[in-house]
Amino acid sequence: MHWLAYALTSALAAGATAILAKIGVRDVPSNLATALRTCVVLVFASAIVWARGEYPALRELRGRTLLFLALSGLATGISWLAYFRALQLAPASRVAPIDKLSLPLSIALAWLVLAEPVTGRLLLGVALMVIGALLTIAA
């Protein structure tokens, strides 16, 4: 499957996540909801690894890889905990667009850390998305 198909699938799932999570956190502490969600992700991802026969690659993981995957996991945990709490406190239609303000940060970090190119067209698109997200705050 092409990378764009995966990216669009991710966007569709993330959009559904906001609504499903908003309903799910209605009657439970947000941290507990996040922990339950994480358990589901762990079981689901583990089943895919097992089904695809990818588990032997565990033996080849090295310190740097483990460090960055652990840091990524911590960042994901912080993001999810904050996201679920925000969903308890505000409408999903406001929380989800603000959450997507991670876009300019991701692009800036990709440019600084990974030396990925940044074009004027990309910057314009990011600016328009940021403006759209910020407009949802005042809505």
Sign of CA dihedral 20, 26, 31, 32: negative
pLDDT tens, position by position, 65-115: 999 999 999 999 999 999 999 999 999 988 988 998 999 999 999 999 999
Token duo for residue 123: 């910057």
Average pLDDT taken over every residue of the chain? 92
Cβ pair 26, 76 in contact under 8 A: no
Per-domain boundaries in the chain: 3-91, 100-139
Q: What is the pLDDT of residues 34-45, one digit of tens each?
A: 999 999 999 999
What confidence tier does 137 reach under pLDDT thresholds 50, 70, 90?
confident
Q: What pTM value is reported for the model?
A: 0.83
